[in-house]
C-alpha cells in the first residue's frame, strides 16, 4: 500500500515536470506555511512555477518580473544603502536594421553585451551597471534586439551630481560603438544610442521594473508561435536555453555613493508547518491588509489580529519593488 502511494506520487511529479499545462494549472494553487522561531510570526509562501509560458508568472507584473526586480533592488541596497536620492543613467544601444537578422544566435547576443560593457565601464568607474537585452520593442513583435544599460548614481552627494552628458560625449560613445560592431564584421557606419536619466524615487523604481520586465513575455511568445514560427523556434531553442537576458557588472561601488538606509531583509529562522491548498480570495478575506505584508514575491508575513510596530520595523523597505 505504501509503495503504491509513493509510485503514484512519483508518476505525478514526473508528469508535472513534463506537462506545462498541468504546471500552469497548479501554479499558485498551493502554499507552504512556516512559523518564525523568534517572532512567532506566521509565514506563507505561495508555490509558483516560474515558467515563462505561465500566464501568472511570465507576464509583466508576474512572479518572474517581481523576483527579478527584488534581486536588482537588493543588489543596489547592499552597495548604495538608502534608495532615496538615487538616479539612473539610462542608455539604450540599438542595432541598425541591416544587423538585426544576423543577431539570431547566442554568440552574437553575448558579444553585444560585452561590447556595451566595455564601452560604459571605463566611463562610470565605481558605479553599478545593470544590463538587459530586450529582443522586441514596446509596441510590436518585430525582432529589434537592443541593450538597456542603467548606471546607478547618487544625486544627493556633496557638490551634487551632473546627470546631463555633453553632446560630444554621446558622439564619442556612438563612434566607439560603431567601431566595436565593425570589428565584429558588421558593415555599419551609423548607430543610435539614446540617453536619459531619472530624477525622483518613483521614476527610479519604475526604471528598475522596466529594465527587468520579461521580454519576451508569455503573451509575446504565444503570439510569435503563430505569427513568426521561425523566430519563436530560435527563442525557444536549446541554444538559447539558459541565456541570461539580464546581467549586472561586478564592480566595487565608490564609498561616497553609500548613504545609510533600510538594510536588505534578513529572515529569521523558521520551522516548517505544512503545505496545503491555497485560494487567493480566501487568503485576502482572512488576513486583511493590516495583518499581512508581502516581504518578498509570493512570500507573506502574517500576524492574526494585526502586525505589530516591531513587525513593520523588521520588514521596513520590503515594498520598494
User: What pLDDT, in 10s, does the model give residues 59-108?
Assistant: 999 999 999 999 999 999 999 998 999 999 999 999 999 999 999 999 99
- Tell me the pLDDT tens digit for each residue of 5-62: 444 434 444 444 557 888 898 899 999 999 999 999 999 999 999 998 999 999 999 9
3-state secondary structure of 312: helix
Query: 294-304: per-residue pLDDT in tens?
Result: 988 999 999 99
Helices (H) and strands (E) in the chain, counts: 11, 10
What SS3 class is residue 256? helix
Residues of the chain with CATH 3.30.70: 82-257
Q: Which residue in this structure is represented by grid cell 555599419?
A: 188
Is the Cα dihedral 51, 52, 53, 54 positive or negative?
positive
Average pLDDT over residues 224-239: 91
| The pLDDT of residue 246 is above 90 | yes
Average pLDDT score over residue span 188-203? 94
Rounded CA separation 237/240 (Å)? 5
User: Domain 82-257 has what CATH class?
Assistant: alpha beta
* Mean per-residue pLDDT, 211-240: 92
The mean of the pLDDT values for the chain is: 89
- 109: cell is 547576443
All three cell numbers of 83, joined, read: 534608495
Amino acid at each position: 500500500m505504501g509503495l503504491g502511494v509513493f509510485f503514484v506520487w512519483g508518476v505525478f511529479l514526473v508528469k508535472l515536470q513534463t506537462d506545462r499545462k498541468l504546471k500552469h494549472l497548479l501554479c499558485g494553487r498551493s502554499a507552504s506555511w512556516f512559523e518564525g522561531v523568534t517572532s512567532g510570526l506566521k509565514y506563507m509562501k505561495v508555490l509558483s512555477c516560474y515558467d515563462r509560458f505561465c500566464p501568472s508568472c511570465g507576464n509583466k507584473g508576474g512572479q518572474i518580473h517581481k523576483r527579478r526586480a527584488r534581486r536588482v533592488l537588493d543588489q543596489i541596497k547592499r552597495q548604495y544603502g538608502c534608495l532615496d536620492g538615487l538616479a539612473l543613467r539610462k542608455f539604450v544601444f540599438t542595432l541598425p536594421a541591416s544587423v538585426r537578422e544576423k543577431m539570431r544566435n547566442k554568440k552574437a547576443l553575448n558579444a553585444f553585451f560585452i561590447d556595451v560593457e566595455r564601452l560604459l565601464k571605463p566611463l562610470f568607474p565605481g558605479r553599478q551597471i545593470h544590463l538587459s537585452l530586450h529582443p522586441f520593442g514596446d509596441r510590436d513583435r518585430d525582432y529589434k534586439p537592443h541593450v538597456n544599460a542603467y548606471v546607478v548614481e547618487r544625486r544627493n552627494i556633496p557638490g551634487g551630481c551632473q546627470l546631463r552628458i555633453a553632446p560630444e560625449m554621446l558622439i564619442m560613445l556612438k563612434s566607439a560603438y560603431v567601431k566595436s560592431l565593425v570589428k565584429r564584421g558588421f558593415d555599419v557606419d551609423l548607430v543610435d544610442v539614446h540617453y536619459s536619466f531619472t530624477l525622483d524615487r518613483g521614476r527610479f523604481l519604475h526604471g528598475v521594473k522596466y529594465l527587468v520586465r520579461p521580454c519576451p513575455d508569455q503573451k509575446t511568445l504565444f503570439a510569435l508561435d503563430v505569427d513568426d514560427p521561425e523566430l519563436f523556434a530560435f527563442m525557444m531553442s536549446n541554444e538559447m536555453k539558459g541565456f541570461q537576458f539580464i546581467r549586472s557588472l561586478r564592480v566595487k561601488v565608490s564609498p561616497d555613493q553609500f548613504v545609510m538606509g533600510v538594510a536588505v531583509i534578513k529572515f529569521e529562522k523558521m520551522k516548517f508547518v505544512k503545505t496545503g491548498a491555497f485560494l487567493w480570495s480566501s487568503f485576502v478575506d482572512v488576513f486583511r491588509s493590516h495583518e499581512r505584508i508581502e516581504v518578498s514575491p509570493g512570500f507573506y508575513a502574517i500576524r492574526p489580529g494585526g502586525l505589530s510596530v516591531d513587525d513593520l520595523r523588521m520588514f521596513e523597505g520590503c515594498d520598494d519593488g
